[in-house]
Structure 1
Amino acid sequence: MSTAPIFDTAVFDLDGTLLNSLEDLAVSANFALQCLGYPTRSLEEVRQFVGNGGRMLMIRALPAQASPETVQQAFEIFAKHYEQHMRDHTRPYPGIEALLSEMARRGIRMAVVSNKMNEAVGPLVKGWFGGWIPVAVGEGEQIPKKPAPQGVWRALSLLGSCRERSLYLGDSDVDVVTARNAGLYAVGCSWGFRDRTVLEQAGADRIIDRPEELLSLFSAEETKRTGERIFPDFGPDGQHRN
């Protein structure tokens, strides 16, 4: 007798999980630093700075004595530059597109919840994954940043999914804590911006090394029912159309 699938919904982190965006983030951060006369940061330094949103990236990249006014100025320069250059070098990690295609075939519900600015999350998800992922939630006034759970709960509500049958996949300790706070099964991926040790120490329920390993947590059968609108459209602004 076959057993029921463990999960029917996957919520994904974006940067370091679905997209390798590190170079574009570093270029924009360094552009802001140069504009304000500060030394630039290496790619490996920026790797350690990301994960808590663009403002925190600039706080970490700036000297410790930088004033709040300087932080705000740097963030505004970064955000404007990144909006114009966020597609220059960013690409999906190997195996991600095949994974999402197979998950969509099986009728698995999918969303992205990211600490990236909402103005960037929608267009990036729509541009790379819009045929598979209908819901994208980024940093905004109404949604506190991860590890607060509200963004995940918002995504589940839009998908019509429940916490008990949903998992969260991410590459950092922030993602593991987010999953815990939201009541989801926490899956870490080792190909992103943090290494396996960070995910282990954060207490991930499972760690995967290749995208296709995620499929073992879902039914192999196609579950999408005729007429059910599991994969709704994005609006023209890149946001989910209610």
Structure 2
Amino acid sequence: MEKKITTLLFDLDGTLINTNELIIASFLHTLNHYYPNQYTREDVYEFIGPSLLETFSGLDLERAEEMIEHYREHNHLHHDLLVEEYEGVYETIRELKERNYKVGIVTTKMRKAVQRGLLKGRLDSFFDVVVTLDDVKNPKPDPEPIELALKLIGSSAEETIMVGDNSHDILAGKNAGTKTAGVAWALKGRDYLEQYGPDYMLENMRDLLKIVES
């Protein structure tokens, strides 16, 4: 018999808050600085999901840290102007807490940026645990961040769903042994996510309320 779901872990960018335009703008700003007129908007989609170190190291190992700083400077400057809420997210997370579910965040962002995003999305008071890139050696899709979140929150993988908009989220959940849910509003699209075999596909975050009670 399957364990009842008690715990939900969420990616942040593209899942709980709409940072797509901010991320795309920050990548284009950085890439056009180092590689003028070589990258289009669509070209940067593949960079969304992995850590910045992974992405920029793949482009230029020697200048990766410099490129990360260039990206973050633009990202921080334009954060509040470009970040938006997703319909249904705030209400769903609030209701999950009211129903006494454990909720956490597992992200490849640094903690300072995560806290700013949570404030912008009005979500800063809800989460029992927030695991960021600062807390682990191996980011998603490695299971380490999810395993750390479960240890801190006091839950098992069998009673947990990992929710995200990227392959790294789905694969990390599978590697850690949790259930997984993809979000249909992912920038890369439903078809992209479905090829990684999530257990659930959410049309709206509110769909989670039915899933956890089933």
Where 1:140 maps in the other structure, the secondary structure is helix
Give aligned pairs, total.
212
SS in 2 for 1:192: coil
Cα RMSD after superposing both structures: 2.3
For residues 75 and 135 of structure 2, what CA distance do their matches in structure 1 show?
A: 19
Aligned counterparts of 1:218 and 1:167: Cα–Cα separation in 2? 9
CA shift, 1:95, in A, is: 0.9
Q: Of 24, 42, 45, which aligns to 2:43?
A: 45
Distance apart, 1:93 and its partner CA: 1.0
Q: Distance in 1 between matches of 2:69 and 2:145?
A: 23
Identity of aligned residues (%): 26
Change (3 A) 1:86 1:144: farther
1:73 Cα deviation after fit: 1.8
| 2:162 aligned with 1:164 | no
Q: Give the TM-score normalised by the residue count of structure 2.
A: 0.88
User: Which digits, 9 at most, give the CA deviation of each residue in 1:3-30, with x for residues without a partner?
Assistant: x983011000111111110111122222
Q: Which residue of 1 aligns with 2:181?
A: 187
Alignment partner, residue 228 of structure 1: none
**In the alignment, what sits opposite 2:133?**
139
Which has the larger Rg?
A: 1
Give deviations 1:191-224, integer Å, cap 9, x for gaps.
112222222211111112111111112249xxxx
Among residues 119, 123, 129, which one is paired with 2:112 in the alignment? 119
CA distance in 1, matches of 2:39, 2:150: 37
Distance 1:144 1:19 in 2: 23
> What residue number does 1:207 align with?
201
TM-score, normalised relative to structure 1: 0.78
Question: Which stretches of structure 1, 4 residues or longer, exceed 4 Å deviation after superposition?
Answer: none
Q: Is the 8 A contact 2:160 2:178 kept in 1?
A: yes
Partner of 1:63: none
State whether residues 115 and 124 of structure 2, in contact with CA within 8 Å, keep that contact through their aligned partners in structure 1.
no
1:69 aligns with 2:79: no
More helix by share: 2
The superposition leaves residues 102-149 of structure 1 with CA deviations (integer Å, 9 ceiling, x where unpaired) of: 111111111110112333123322553112123211213634110011
